[in-house]
């Protein structure tokens, strides 16, 4: 993968493809190629040793014609402005394709959170919140957890924003602890959604979940919860991985034991042992001969360099942007069925919408209610995407963007152009 690769280019190519099929002129959708607002902030933090370190942070609001911006905050050393732009745009289309009244936003700080003490992490989070406070809020932009951030970090953001406002504002973030306005079922919603999409696409293909092999790249929230639910549905999870590498057992891994092992903050798979397992790299995991592959790590994992090596029959994207545009073409030629990220990992933002609704009306639902509503939204969105892809003879990714782009463009047309 080229060091000059720009993930936002992926977004532009996909928008152009969908717009051409929809018959749009450039003027109809050109606004989607430019974020509405970008904020870059410098964050001085006093470290435990008494020194002051400056961190760089971002918040991007891609589009808000359908509602407040919505999107996570990423704490990772690889965060860049172009990455945050791409993630914000993907959120616009993710919210649109599942038809929730949000636009797209995203934030990030260039940091390895595991190198900070809890006090340093809290100081960084509160400083970042104060810096972006003018452009966020329950009616403006609602952050959530992403790679490297947690429900505890969301609680610090909510508290800091509330102190600045002079009263408690639970609806400013989602993914919070339940005790302070979070929603039951939110923590597992993205992984649960991945499982539901796998169930539906396998059903369309006439494949039973029982005993079907699956590999999961990434053991963060999305990957670990996906593996948990897929194991619970009787699938044979033969490989999982994290930043330290992967483990593989063709007879199936002991997922409950693995989840217990990695549940300790900072514990990696490199220290896990299980009879019959083999160690392998993340790239080797991607090329395993499995029925289902779930890339649930970072962007651009499947690209022009390794697309030909992919042997899975079905890919369900648990991560945002794990497949490049060039790799998409290769996978399509190979006949691999791919459920795209803006659909496959939308369970989290759907449940975040539920959390926001509950916060705004001060009325909370049971976990059963949340999971039932989540399944309804997911099924409706999947069927719409599958049907239009069949009708137009296009991939599921293109089908998802046909729906998503059309909804945003139509909303913009109805609102008009203030000049």
pLDDT, one tens digit per residue, over 226-241 is: 999 999 999 999 999 9
Residues 210-216, mean pLDDT to the nearest whole number: 97
Residues 390-396, mean pLDDT to the nearest whole number: 95
Residues 70-90, mean pLDDT to the nearest whole number: 95
CA distance 190 to 171: 20
Range of lowest pLDDT (154-168, 269-283, 363-377): 269-283
CA distance 18 to 301: 23
Per-residue pLDDT tens for 279-298?
A: 999 999 999 999 999 999 98
266 band by pLDDT with thresholds 50, 70 and 90: confident
Q: Of 351, 409, 379, 415, nearest to 93 (Cα)?
A: 409
CB 113 within 8 Å of CB 75: yes
Q: Active-site residue among 106, 228, 236, 406? A: 106
Q: What kind of architecture, by CATH, is found in domain 189-342? A: 3-Layer(aba) Sandwich (3.40)
Q: What is the pLDDT of residue 419?
A: 64
Q: What is the pLDDT of residue 252?
A: 96
Q: To the nearest whole number, what is the mean pLDDT of the chain? A: 95
Per-residue pLDDT tens for 32-51?
A: 999 999 999 999 999 999 99
Q: Of 3, 77, 5, 7, nearest to 322 (Cα)?
A: 7
4 band by pLDDT with thresholds 50, 70 and 90: low
10 band by pLDDT with thresholds 50, 70 and 90: confident
Query: Which residues on neighbouring strands pair with residue 71, listed in sequence order?
Result: 143
Exposed e or buried b for every residue in 369-392, given b needs 16+ CB within 10 A?
Answer: ebbebbeebbeebbebbbebbeee
Q: What is the pLDDT of residue 343?
A: 96
Q: What is the pTM of this model?
A: 0.93
Tokens of 317: 């994207």
Provide the residue ranges of all domains of the chain, joining segments of one domain with +. Answer: 35-177, 189-342
Is 119 a catalytic site residue?
A: no
Per-residue pLDDT tens for 370-390?
A: 999 999 999 999 999 999 999
Instruction: Give residue 112's Cα distance to chain centre.
Output: 19
Residues 352-373, mean pLDDT to the nearest whole number: 97
Long-range CB contact pairs, 366-374, < 8 A, 24+: 366/184, 367/184, 367/185, 370/183, 370/184, 370/185, 370/186, 370/189, 371/185, 371/192, 374/185, 374/189, 374/192, 374/193, 374/347, 374/350
Q: Is the pLDDT of residue 417 over 90?
A: no
1 band by pLDDT with thresholds 50, 70 and 90: very low
The CATH code that applies to domain 35-177 is 3.40.50.10860
More confident residue, 417 or 93: 93
Per-residue pLDDT tens for 308-356?
A: 999 999 999 999 889 988 999 999 999 999 999 999 999 999 999 999 9
Residues 203-207, mean pLDDT to the nearest whole number: 97
Q: What is the pLDDT of residue 263?
A: 85
CB 237 within 8 Å of CB 252: yes
Q: What is the pLDDT of residue 325?
A: 86
CB 73 within 8 Å of CB 144: yes
Q: Residue 128 belongs to what H/E stretch?
A: helix 118-132
CA distance 367 to 229: 16
CA distance 158 to 181: 10
The domains spanning 35-177 and 189-342 adopt the same CATH topology: yes
């Amino acid at each position: 993968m080229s060091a000059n690769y720009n993930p936002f280019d992926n977004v532009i190519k996909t928008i152009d493809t969908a717009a051409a099929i929809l018959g749009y002129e450039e003027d109809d959708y050109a606004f989607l190629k430019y974020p509405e607002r970008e904020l870059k902030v410098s964050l001085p933090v006093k470290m435990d040793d008494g020194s002051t370190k400056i961190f760089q942070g971002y918040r991007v609001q891609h589009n808000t014609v359908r509602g407040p911006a919505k999107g996570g905050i990423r704490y990772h050393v690889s965060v860049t402005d172009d990455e945050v732009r791409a993630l914000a745009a993907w959120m616009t289309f993710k919210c649109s394709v599942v038809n929730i009244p949000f636009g797209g936003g995203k934030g990030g700080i260039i940091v390895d959170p595991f190198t900070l003490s809890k006090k340093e992490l809290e100081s960084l989070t509160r400083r970042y919140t104060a810096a972006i406070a003018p452009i966020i809020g329950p009616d403006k932009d609602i952050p959530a957890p992403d790679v490297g951030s947690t429900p505890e970090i969301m609680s610090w953001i909510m508290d800091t924003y509330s102190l600045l406002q002079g009263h408690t504002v639970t609806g400013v973030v989602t993914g919070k602890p339940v005790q302070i306005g979070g929603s039951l079922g939110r923590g597992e919603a993205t992984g649960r959604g991945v499982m539901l999409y796998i169930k539906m696409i396998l059903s369309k293909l006439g494949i039973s979940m029982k005993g079907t092999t699956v590999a999961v790249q990434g053991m963060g929230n999305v990957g670990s919860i996906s593996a948990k639910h897929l194991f619970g549905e009787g699938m044979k999870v033969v490989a999982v991985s994290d930043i330290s590498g992967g483990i593989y057992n063709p007879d199936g891994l002991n997922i409950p034991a693995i989840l217990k092992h990695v549940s300790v903050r900072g514990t990696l798979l490199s220290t896990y042992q299980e009879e019959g397992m083999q160690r392998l790299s993340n790239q080797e995991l991607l090329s395993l001969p499995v029925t289902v592959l779930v890339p649930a790590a970072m962007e651009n994992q499947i690209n022009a360099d390794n697309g030909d090596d992919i042997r899975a029959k079905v890919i369900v994207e648990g991560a945002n942007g794990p497949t490049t545009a060039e790799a998409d073409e290769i996978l399509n030629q190979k006949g691999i069925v791919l459920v795209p990220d803006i659909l496959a990992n939308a369970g989290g933002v759907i449940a975040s919408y539920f959390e926001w609704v509950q916060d705004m009306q001060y009325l909370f639902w049971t976990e059963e209610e949340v999971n039932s509503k989540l399944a309804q939204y997911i099924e409706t969105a999947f069927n719409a995407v599958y049907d239009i892809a069949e009708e137009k003879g296009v991939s599921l990714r293109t089908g998802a963007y046909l729906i998503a782009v059309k909804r945003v463009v139509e909303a913009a047309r109805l609102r008009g152009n203030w000049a």
